[in-house]
Amino acid sequence: MEVTAWMSLHHAMNAQEGRPFSRRTLKRMGGFARPHARPLTLFLIGSVTLAVLAVATPVLAGRVVNAITTGAANDVVIRLAVIIAVLALLEGGFGLFNRWLSARIGEGLILDLRTAVFDHVQRMPVAFFTRTRTGALVSRLNNDVIGAQRAFSDTLSGVVSNLVTLLLTFAVMVTISWQITLLALVLLPVFVLPARRMGKRLARLEREAAAHDAAMSTQMTERFSAPGATLVKLFGRPDRESAEFAARAGRVRDIGVRTAMVQHVFITALTMVSALALALVYGLGGFFSLRGQLDAGAVVALALLLTRLYAPLTALASARVEIMSALVSFERVFEVLDLKPLVAEKPQTRRVPDGPVGVEFTDVTFAYPSADKVSLASLEEVATLDTRGGEDVLHDVSFHARPGQTVALVGSSGAGKSTIAQLLPRLYDVDSGSVRLGGVDVRDLSFSEIRATLGMVTQDGHLFHETIRENLLLARPEATEDDLWDVLDRARLAGLIRSLPDGLDTLVGERGYRLSGGERQRLTIARLLLARPRVVILDEATAHLDSTSEAAVQEALTEALEGRTAIIIAHRLSTIRQADQILVLEAGRVVEHGTHDELLARNGRYTELHTTQFATQEPKALV
Ligand SMILES: Nc1ncnc2c1ncn2[C@@H]1O[C@H](COP(=O)(O)OP(=O)(O)O)[C@@H](O)[C@H]1O
Ligand SMILES: [Mg+2]
């Protein structure tokens, strides 16, 4: 099924839930319409002109008939014919112009809404993305934005021009013969009532199809990705999945056939009703005409006008549902635009002082934000959001990494090491206490300043599905070819990449799948080396490396860390031993800190970790 059809139903369905639309929504829609005020005005003028032209032709045709029946002069008939021809040309021209205007307004609105949503979503905190479903978000950007646009270009304008045509046609018919007009309109309910019922039936059918479509596309996007496909191969039931898919697709086919039939019955009924009305006009008109109460031209004009009455009527019969659904789209777009980013830049930002930068945590307490603070129920595809606040993950964490120092964080899994790492680049904000970079609270820095100062490599270093070159240049767009090869060399990747047929222009597969885990990690390390940040955070950055390549990369890292401040979360003793300071974390608290020797001498938690975790360490296999 067409995406647009999908949307319209999807939205019609929501509209039927009968949510009242606030004044605010309408006002904001006005705000988005304002830049298009001029084309909109022109469009309305064009619509009225078109309606007038549409009514003029039947009236003129009636005049021609009268001229013939009364035996008027030749040139009268010819003049009328010429006017009819000119009107037809004008109608074509205006129609073209109006379509151009409405397309421009509509597409312009799509552009405005899309860029607004993209820009806004891009600024949302990481917490938002950890909760929302990408599919739901993308559909918000695509379907709802298009749906919102329909409120303007299709529906509203359609309603306006149809209404104008309808009223004008009706008015002219009444002036010709109010009796015949009224009688012809008796058939109206016969036409409108089934139309509404049919519309509801169609909406129900298509809503069901939309649900099946959505389920199928979820199934496809989930399964047709490298990790998903791997999972299916390892644990999946391909036969069952195929059967399920086929059942849904089959149901969509059945619905498609039913829809086509319902639609056809509807159109046939419509044609019949208007044919009956036409018969009525001819019969009654002829009767009046024979009695001399009406001239022949009036009968012809009425008949022609009647045929123009039903098209706008059909359109208006379903207008309410369409307008409501377009409004729902607007609301859904606004809903996203209204999400306040939990982590935002201050209007006035400060800079990190030049030179080496120290890192300072002072009494930091932190809990991951609850769902209702960071996301939308509709994007998580749940009915209501979890309002439970998370437990504190960090309690009164304080430490100070002086400029150039290396601080190692150790502790069992879940102790809060990665959380500490995420607070530095402001992926989250602390609940109390402060995090400082070069003596400045990170909340006072601009995001670009933080990006320029900090570099981070995580365990699952993410790469975009682009070329190796593009992935590297993300860190420093102005880097030269030599810079790239230099960092690749230092990350022990140059040899591998030289051997690839496309070299730097090799596409990294989806989620970096074509590279092994270790290679991927070395590429993210190369990216860090290229960025040359003054503060480096390594969160298990070498976890995917085997001991040989780790030794090699470690060398590169040591080189890269020289003179820089580093926060290192490592599981290898060799890395930890060299740190200037070691913090031992347990359940979100710093339980011990000192150098390797000091801590060993204390014979506490560190010694325990040392004997259980580091000393018996097996080198991790390459993924
Ligand atoms: N995005 C998140 N939302 C909620 N809780 C989280 C999130 N990430 C981690 N946690 C929780 O925070 C605690 C500390 O996690 P983390 O800092 O990742 O530990 P570590 O890196 O030391 O293994 C864990 O209990 C974990 O479940
Ligand atoms: Mg971690």
Q: Is 390 in the pocket of ligand 1 (CB under 6 A)?
A: yes
pLDDT at 587: 92
**Which amino acid residue places its CA nearest to atom 2 of ligand 1?**
368
- Given ligand 1 and candidates 130, 370, 373, 419, which is best to mutate, with the most ligand atoms within 8 Å of its CB? 419
Does the pLDDT of residue 374 top 60, yes or no? yes
Ligand lying nearest the CA atom of residue 419: 1
pLDDT tens-digit readout, 458-475: 877 778 888 899 999 988
DSSP 566-591: EEEE-S-HHHHHT-SEEEEEETTEEE
Q: Hey, CA dihedral for 344, 345, 348, 354, is it positive or negative?
A: positive
Q: Phi, psi (5° rounding) for residue 579?
A: -65, 150
Mean pLDDT of 497-508: 87
Task: Give 454 Cα–ligand 1 centroid separation in angstroms.
Answer: 21
Start-end ranges of CATH 3.40.50.300 in the chain?
359-372+390-614
pLDDT at 238: 83
Q: What is the dihedral of CA 441, 443, 449, 451, to 10 degrees?
A: 110
pLDDT at 512: 59
**For residues 476 and 606, what is the distance between their CA atoms, to the nearest angstrom?**
39
Task: Give 413 Cα–ligand 1 centroid separation in angstroms.
Answer: 9
Task: Give 413 Cα–ligand 2 centroid separation in angstroms.
Answer: 7
Task: Give 139 Cα–ligand 2 centroid separation in angstroms.
Answer: 32
**For residues 351 and 387, what is the distance between their CA atoms, to the nearest angstrom?**
36
Integer CA distances (angstroms), 107 to 12, 77, 140, 150, in order: 22, 45, 16, 10
- pLDDT band (50, 70, 90) for residue 434: very high
pLDDT at 389: 63
Name the CATH topology of 359-372+390-614: Rossmann fold (3.40.50)
Does the pLDDT of residue 582 top 70, yes or no? yes
| Mean model confidence pLDDT for the chain | 83
User: Which token pair is 491?
Assistant: 């990350």
pLDDT tens-digit readout, 389-426: 678 999 999 999 999 999 999 998 899 999 999 999 99
DSSP 322-334: HHHHHHHHHHHHH
Which of these ranges, 375-379, 494-498, 520-524, has the smallest mean pLDDT? Answer: 375-379
pLDDT at 409: 94
Q: DSSP class of residue 404?
A: T
To the question of domain 2-337 being in CATH 3.40.50.720, the answer is: no
DSSP 60-71: HHHHHHHHHHTT
* CA neighbor of 9 nearest in space, from 329, 333, 335, 266: 329
Position with higher pLDDT, 374 vs 453: 453
Q: Phi, psi (5° rounding) for residue 620?
A: -75, 140
Q: Is 413 in the pocket of ligand 1 (CB under 6 A)?
A: yes
**Atom of ligand 1 at shortest range from CA of 411:** 22
**Which amino acid residue places its CA nearest to atom 20 of ligand 1?**
414
**Which amino acid residue places its CA nearest to atom 16 of ligand 1?**
416
Start-end ranges of CATH 1.20.1560.10 in the chain?
2-337
Neighbours of 89 (CB within 10 A): 10
Q: Is 414 in the pocket of ligand 1 (CB under 6 A)?
A: yes
pLDDT at 313: 77
Q: Is 368 in the pocket of ligand 1 (CB under 6 A)?
A: yes
**Atom of ligand 1 at shortest range from CA of 130:** 1
pLDDT tens-digit readout, 60-84: 999 999 999 888 788 889 999 999 9
**For residues 310 and 554, what is the distance between their CA atoms, to the nearest angstrom?**
78
**Atom of ligand 1 at shortest range from CA of 588:** 14
**For residues 578 and 596, what is the distance between their CA atoms, to the nearest angstrom?**
8
**For residues 9 and 147, what is the distance between their CA atoms, to the nearest angstrom?**
10
Q: Is 416 in the pocket of ligand 1 (CB under 6 A)?
A: yes
Neighbours of 394 (CB within 10 A): 24
Q: Is 393 in the pocket of ligand 1 (CB under 6 A)?
A: yes
pLDDT tens-digit readout, 191-214: 667 777 777 787 788 778 877 877
**For residues 257 and 250, what is the distance between their CA atoms, to the nearest angstrom?**
11
Q: Phi, psi (5° rounding) for residue 592?
A: -150, 150
pTM metric for this prediction: 0.73
Q: Is 388 in the pocket of ligand 1 (CB under 6 A)?
A: no
Position with higher pLDDT, 580 vs 215: 580
